[in-house]
Amino acid sequence: MSHPPFDRWSIRFKPLSERKNRVLVPRDLVSPDSEGRPLAARGAAILHEAADRIRAARSEDRPVICAFGAHAIKNGLGPVLTALMSEGWLTHLATNGAGIIHDWEIAFQGKTSEDVRENVTLGEFGIWEETGRYLNLGLLVGAWEGLGYGQSIGGASSVRAGERAAGPRQGRGSRGPAGRDCSSGHSPGLPFGAASVS
């Protein structure tokens, strides 16, 4: 069965300010100092094993990379990840595109997480003007400056929050084409940019 090509120009973007958000700052952020919820025995054992491995790796000055999905940011764990980075327990963060989107939206407007079910039904999922515009603009500027993905978005979030970088950030990490740094960067405070929210 043949279908006519999808006309991308017919999409009508909406201002992010019109969206209902399910996650609000500071209400939904998790403080690193807060009491953790009780875990089942298996979960507690996994957590203790991970903590032991992280301590062992850091005692030998080895890197610890935390890879996570968007729900870590969406569920308010940015301050916890920040504390783990600041205190030297984590050396690198890696997330997916949705993690970047949630973190950027928190930095931009102090809230995130649209109602997926409702907005898919309405044909309005992910049509928010500022998210697409500023993330893509940040990536373009970052690519021009020779920055990696994380540094580009972190820089865009920092500039949005009123911080000004003195120039391109110099990261430490792997080198990509033409010797450009491809390591993930972050703005001061939270993993990618949400530190800017006060």
Tell me which long-range contacts 122-130 makes (C-beta under 8 A, separation of at least 24). Answer: 124/14, 127/11, 127/12, 127/13, 127/14, 128/13, 128/14, 128/15, 128/16, 128/19, 129/13, 129/14, 129/15, 129/16, 130/15, 130/16
d(CA 30, CA 79): 7
For residue 183, give both structure tokens.
């390591």
Query: In the predicted model, is pLDDT for residue 141 greater than 80?
Result: yes
Instruction: Considering only residues 122 and 154, tell me which one the structure prediction assigns the higher pLDDT.
Output: 122
Put residue 34 in one of left, alpha, beta given phi > 0 → left and psi -120 to 50 → alpha. Answer: beta
Instruction: Please name which of 196, 194, 190, 193 lies closest in space to residue 32, comparing C-alpha atoms.
Output: 190
Mean pLDDT (whole number) for 14-22:
95
Mean pLDDT (whole number) for 49-76:
96
Q: Residue 80, SS3?
A: helix
Query: In the predicted model, is pLDDT for residue 172 greater than 50?
Result: no
Mean pLDDT value across the chain: 81
For position 6, what pLDDT does the model report?
Answer: 81
* Confidence band, pLDDT 50/70/90 cuts, at residue 192: very low
For position 1, what pLDDT does the model report?
Answer: 66
Looking at residue 45, what DSSP letter applies?
A: H
For position 166, what pLDDT does the model report?
Answer: 41
| 3-state DSSP of 114-175 | CCHHHHHHHCCCCCEHHHHHHHHHHHHHHHHCCCCHHHHHHHHHHHHCCCCCCCCCCCCCCE
For position 159, what pLDDT does the model report?
Answer: 58
Q: How confident is the model over 86-116, as pLDDT tens digits?
A: 999 999 999 999 999 999 999 899 999 999 9
Q: Is the bond into 15 cis (omega within 30 degrees of 0)?
A: no
* Confidence band, pLDDT 50/70/90 cuts, at residue 60: very high
Mean pLDDT (whole number) for 45-61:
97
Q: How confident is the model over 156-167, as pLDDT tens digits?
A: 666 555 443 444
Q: Can you spell out the DSSP letters for 23-38?
A: EETTTTPPPTTSPPPP
